[in-house]
Structure 1
Amino acid sequence: MDKVKSYINDTIEEMRFKVSWPKFAELQKSSVLVLVGSVVFAIVVGAMDFVYDTALSWFYSQF
């Protein structure tokens, strides 16, 4: 049980004093960047899906 307490105390100490947390402004910039990247990726994947669906529908309608 002492090992568990030691592990928890060491974890708390490391999270409080050794981890470098980003400033709020930096966090906002990173969040906006991830959001924009996700939207762009979703649009690209959606466009590819639309093109493949249209092409395959046309192809199968030929038979």
Structure 2
Amino acid sequence: MNIKSFVIESIDEMKNKVTWPSYSFLQNSAVLVLVASLIFALVIGVIDLGFENLMKWFYDLF
């Protein structure tokens, strides 16, 4: 198989055989990822703050 036929078949497959998601589905997925990332960052931040305070309390004992 040469390069020319590979490129032609690849373009044909991308146009006719691949199912592309709709724009609204992509928007909803992007919002979902953004919200999940923010929640995850907040949870990690609270855990980090709690651990920092615990370590300060522990080191202040000595």
TM-score of the aligned structures, taking structure 2 as reference length: 0.82
Query: What is the alpha-carbon distance in structure 2 between the residues aligned to residue 41 and residue 34 of structure 1?
Result: 10
**What is the alpha-carbon root mean square deviation over aligned residues?**
1.5
* Unaligned stretches of 5+ residues in structure 1: none
Residue type at the aligned position of 2:7: I
Query: Deviation above 6 Å: which 4+ runs of structure 1?
Result: none
Offset, 1:27:
0.9
Tell me the equivalent position of 2:45: 46
Q: 1:23 to 1:57 in 2, by over 3 A?
A: same
TM-score of the aligned structures, taking structure 1 as reference length: 0.81
Secondary structure of the structure 2 residue equivalent to 1:46:
helix
* Unaligned stretches of 5+ residues in structure 2: none
Query: What is the alpha-carbon distance in structure 1 between the residues aligned to residue 60 and residue 8 of structure 2?
Result: 67
